[in-house]
Amino acid sequence: MKMKISILTIVFLVSIVMLSIFVANVANLIATDSDEEMIQRPKGEEPRKYNIGDKMDNLMWFLQISDIHISIFKDPSRITELKEFCDVTVDAFNPPVVLASGDLTDAKKKDAMGSKQVLDEWKHYKRVLDESGVLKRTTWLDVRGNHDNFNVLNLKSSENYYLNYSVQGKYHPRSYLHHINHKSEKYSFIAIDACLEPGPKRPFNFVGFLDEPEIDKIKKLAQHSKKLGSDYIIWFGHYPTSCILSQCDNGLREIMAEHREGMVYLCGHYHTLGGIAPQMYTLQRGGYLELELADWKDNRMYRIGVIDHGQFSFSDNQHNDWPVALITNPKHILFSMPQRENIKSIIESTHMRILAFSTVPIKAVSVRIDDEKWVQCRKVEGSLYVATWNASRYLKGIHSIKTRVVDELNRKKEVAQMFALDGSRMSFKLLPRFLLMSDASKIFAITFGVMLVLNVIPLCILRSCHKLVLMKKMERPRFKVRCFHAFIRKLWITTTISYLFWPIVLYPLYLVFGPWAAGEVIENSFGIIFAWGMYIGKTYLPGSFTYVYGSFQLFSFHMPLTLILAFSVDRRFQELEKPLMKHPNLLMLLWRHLPFFLLISMQSVLVYFFWLAYGTITTILCPFRSWSIIIAIILWYLANTVPNHRLRPAALVWASAKSRSMND
C-alpha cells in the first residue's frame, strides 16, 4: 500500500512540476513588458517629446482595410460596399494613405473547397478602384495575402494576377517601402509580403514564410527608411507575426524591435478567430503594437490609425457607422508604448485632442474626464477638435475620458477610454496576447506531438504490462472505478492481438515520417506532402498547418477507430467467456456497428473535400485520407472476427478462474 501511495505521490508531484513549467513558459511568452535587449537605443535616449497644443502640425492619419475576399460566387455586397468605402469613407477621412493588407480576392471555387486564382475577381477589384477614383485622391498600398497566392507557382506565373490587377503589384511584387512627407514629419509604410513561394492550393497554404533573401530585403527597406530620415515607420502585412515562419534566427519581430521609429505592425488573416477574439491586439516585447484587423469579408470593418505628436492611436469601425470619433490626447492607457512614446508629451500638453469624422459636417464635439462636467470642444481645422485641460490634476491613478460627437444628421457617437499619467498600465486580454505573441507553427507541432503520444504510448504501455504480468513480474492492476477498469481492459485486450496492435500504433508513426499525399499540389506541378513540410518540384516548404490536419486526423478518426476496435475485441472476448445463445438480428448488428459506419461516413466526406481541393490523382495517392478508410475497414473486420486462440493470452490475465478452467 505504501508503494502505491509513493508512486501516486511521485506522479502527482511530477504533474505539478510539469504544469508549473508550462504555465511559466506561457506567462513568459505573453509578457508585454518591453525587452530592452531587443530594442537597440543609445543609453539614456528617450523618445522625442512634443509640445502638444491646439495645432494641426505633427498630425497624420491613414486607413486600413483587410481580408476583402472579393468573390464572384458569394456575397456580391463585398464588392458594392467596397465601392462605397472608396467613394464615401475615404472621402470623409481624406487620408494620404490607405492600406489593404491582403486577401484582396477569395480565390475559391464555387464549391468553396477547391482553390485557384479567379481572373474575374481581380478584374472586379481593379474596376472598383478605377471607377471610384480613389487612386486619384489617396495612395492605395495593397499587399498579398494567402488567398491571393493560392495555386501560384511563382511570381512570374500567369496565375499571379496581383502583378497586373493590384495597385502596387506592377511596381513591387513582394515587400516594399512607401515614403511620405506630411506637413513637418516623414513617414514610411513598409509592406511585408510573407506569402509562400510556390503557393500551394488550400488548405496547406495558411502560414506565411520569409526566406533569407526576403528577410534581407526587409532589413534593407528599414535601413533605407532611416536614410530617408523617417520619423515613424508603420509596418503592415497580411499575416500576424505569430503566423510567419522565418528561415533565419533574426526574424520579423526582431527586425521591427530594432527600429525604434517603428510604431505598429498592422495585419489581418485571423478573421478575429470566428468572432472569439474581436479585438486582437497586443504590445509585443520589442516595444511596438501588433493589431489584427477584423475582416471586410463578413464584418465590414476598417481601421483609422493616427500618429499625433508622437502618440499612436487607432479606432476600428464598422462600415457606414457614422460619425467616427477618436481621442488622440490623452492617449488610451492600454495602447501606450513606453519605449516608443514620451509620456511627458501628454503630461505637459495644454489641450485634449479629438478627431471627428462624418459624411456630413460635424455639429458638436464635447468631452469630459471622470465624472466632471461636459466641456465643448473647439474646431481647429478639418477634423481636429480641442479643449483646454490641466493635466497636473490627473497625475495619479487611472482616469477615464469620454467624448461625444454629433453630426448634422443628429447621429451620435460616444467614445470612452482610460488614461494614466503616472506610468500605470492595463493588461491586454489573454487570448489575443497568446494568439499574437506565440509561434503558431510550434503550437501546431506540439499539438500534433501530444496527439501522437496519446495514440501510441498508452497502447505500448498496456502491451508491455501484459507481458510483465504473464512473466509474473507484476500483478494486473485493479481499478476501483468500474467504468475506467472496463475501459482499460478493452484497450489491454486489443494490444494483445498483434495484427491489430501494430497497424493501430504504426499508422500514427507513419504520419510523422511518411508522405501523406502526392499529386498536383499546384496545377501542373507535382508535389509531395509530409507532416513536416512539402516538396513542390525542387522547392521545399516547411510544415506548419499540416500539423493541424494531422492532429485533427488523429483526434477525429484514429482515436475513435481505436476505441471502436477495442469495444469490438472486448465483445469477442466476452463471447469467449459467455457464448451467445442466439445470433443477433440485422437491426441489432446495425445498431452495434453504427459508430463505425458514422466514422467511415465522416472520413469519406473528408476524402471528398480533399478531392475537391486537390483532384483525383492526389486523392488516390493519399495514405493520409483515402487509404485510412481501407485500413479501418480491414481492422474492423479483423476485430469482429478474432478467433478464440488469439484471445487466450488475454484470457490468462483477464478471464475469470471458471472461464479459464473451461477453456483449458
List pLDDT tens digits, range 100-147. 999 999 999 999 899 999 999 999 999 999 999 999 999 999 999 999
Sequence-ordered list of residues with C-beta below 8 angstroms from that of 245, at least 6 positions apart, any chain: 207, 208, 209, 210, 441, 542, 544
Per-residue pLDDT tens for 463-520? 998 898 888 888 877 777 788 888 898 999 999 999 999 999 999 999 999 999 999 9
Q: How far apart are CA 658 and CA 357, in angstroms?
A: 87
Per-residue pLDDT tens for 364-406? 999 999 999 999 999 999 999 999 999 999 999 999 999 999 9
Look up residue 328 and give its amino acid. T
Determine, yes or no, domain membership for 19. no
Answer with the one of 380, 410, 432 that is the final residue of a domain. 432
**In this structure, are 574 and 626 located in the same domain?**
yes
**Residue 585, pLDDT above cutoff 90:** no
**In this structure, are 384 and 451 located in the same domain?**
no
Q: What is the mean pLDDT of the chain?
A: 90
CA 55 to centroid of chain Cα atoms: 41
Look up residue 209 and give its amino acid. F
Determine, yes or no, domain membership for 284. no
Could you give the number of structural domains in the chain?
2
> What phi and psi, each to the nearest 5 degrees, are found at residue 244?
-125, 120
Secondary structure of residue 412 in the 3-state scheme: strand
**Residue 15, pLDDT above cutoff 90:** no
**In this structure, are 648 and 587 located in the same domain?**
yes
Sequence-ordered list of residues with C-beta below 8 angstroms from that of 388, at least 6 positions apart, any chain: 350, 351, 352
Q: Report the 10 Å Cβ neighbour count for 260.
A: 18
Answer with the one of 397, 432, 467 that is the final residue of a domain. 432
Determine, yes or no, domain membership for 194. no
Residue 511 CA: distances (Å) to CA of 605, 623, 635: 20, 9, 18
Secondary structure of residue 140 in the 3-state scheme: strand
**In this structure, are 538 and 620 located in the same domain?**
yes
**In this structure, are 461 and 502 located in the same domain?**
yes
Task: Give the pLDDT score at 664.
Answer: 43
Determine, yes or no, domain membership for 371. yes
**In this structure, are 526 and 585 located in the same domain?**
yes
Q: What is the CATH number of the domain that holds 350?
A: 2.60.40.10
**In this structure, are 424 and 496 located in the same domain?**
no
Beta carbons of 241 and 284 less than 8 angstroms apart: yes
**Residue 663, pLDDT above cutoff 50:** no
Secondary structure of residue 588 in the 3-state scheme: helix
State the residue range of the domain holding 578: 440-663
Answer with the one of 404, 432, 460 that is the final residue of a domain. 432
Lowest mean pLDDT among 14-23, 109-118, 177-186: 14-23
Cis peptide before 330 (omega within 30 of 0): yes
Secondary structure of residue 521 in the 3-state scheme: strand
Task: Give the pLDDT score at 654.
Answer: 79
Per-residue pLDDT tens for 593-626? 899 999 999 999 999 999 999 999 999 999 999 9
pLDDT, greater one: 644 or 288: 288
